Chain A
């Protein structure tokens, strides 16, 4: 024992240049988080544009003439409910219950579709009244900001359907769990962006 201790002390120390092996997907979560942060910057730009241009109505309709806060409240509820149901899907995924996970994903998709339908109804209503994106700088920035968020929700739903097919085919394997966790971050992140949208665009628009 003593001799091994001495050789261990005097033995040359090697600093390995190569990185030690990482498990597959070990850095996916951090990488996806960085993507979300860059997405956050896109929304920051759009919020800044809306903040600067949101008061330029060009003698056109103002937020008070266009927004229906009751509808926005229902919309917010839909997105919030879809967030919690996605959380339930993650909890059942942890327990490895495929059927329950798929069921919660379906519920989440339905809430997401309800959100999108209400938003599209609102857009159609506004455009029908002549409040098109071309009407004023306020409306251009409004449609860009809220439309970009809606587009993200749309792709989130497409992604969710894709993952449901994946889970149905391969089960809750490690790769699918990782993908579902990425989508979880994406979905909750969209809810965070929506907090900014309903506060700055809708509520503060009504206060103008």
Chain B
């Protein structure tokens, strides 16, 4: 009985969905592929250009995070009446501000406060 109630509540309220075997297996296969390719790229040095490699593995990470969110954490716009998606969007915005802001500010701080490098280059 309790199991039945449980299933019903999930369907009516759109609460945390449980996913299916198929969903978990798709998520698992996708994440294995999305993990293996970046490791292979870095370990074999398939692309000579390091910056290009970095951008590609970051793209793979973003895709894999989305895969995990959808197939393992069962995120969808309707779960918990949309509130969990709203909280997620808010958090992603904060994380982007924290990460990009810190890196940006500290990079310029390093670049401008480093004595020597600039002046040395400008010296005759």
Q: Hey, which bits of chain A sit against chain B, CB under 8 A?
A: 23, 26, 29-30, 33-34, 37, 40-41, 44-45, 47-49, 51-52, 69-70, 72-73, 76-77, 80, 83-84, 87-88, 90-91, 94, 96, 173-174, 177, 181, 185, 188-189, 191-192, 195-196, 198-200, 203-204, 206-207
Question: How many interface residues does chain B have, given as a range?
Answer: 35 or more
**CB of A73, distance to nearest CB on chain B (Å):** 5
> Using Cβ atoms and an 8 Å threshold, which residues of chain A touch B98?
41, 44-45, 48
> Using Cβ atoms and an 8 Å threshold, which residues of chain A touch B27?
84, 87
Contact A96 B57 (CB under 8 A): no
Judged by DSSP, the binding face of A is helix
Option from B24, B42, B69, B80 in Cβ contact (under 8 Å) with A84: B24
| A52 to B47 alpha-carbon distance, docked (Å) | 26
Judged by DSSP, the binding face of B is helix
**CB of B66, distance to nearest CB on chain A (Å):** 10
Contact B99 A69 (CB under 8 A): no
Q: Is B103 an interface residue (CB 8 A)?
A: yes
| Interchain residue pairs A-B with the least CB separation, the first 8 | A199-B61, A48-B102, A87-B24, A188-B72, A37-B91, A44-B95, A52-B106, A84-B28
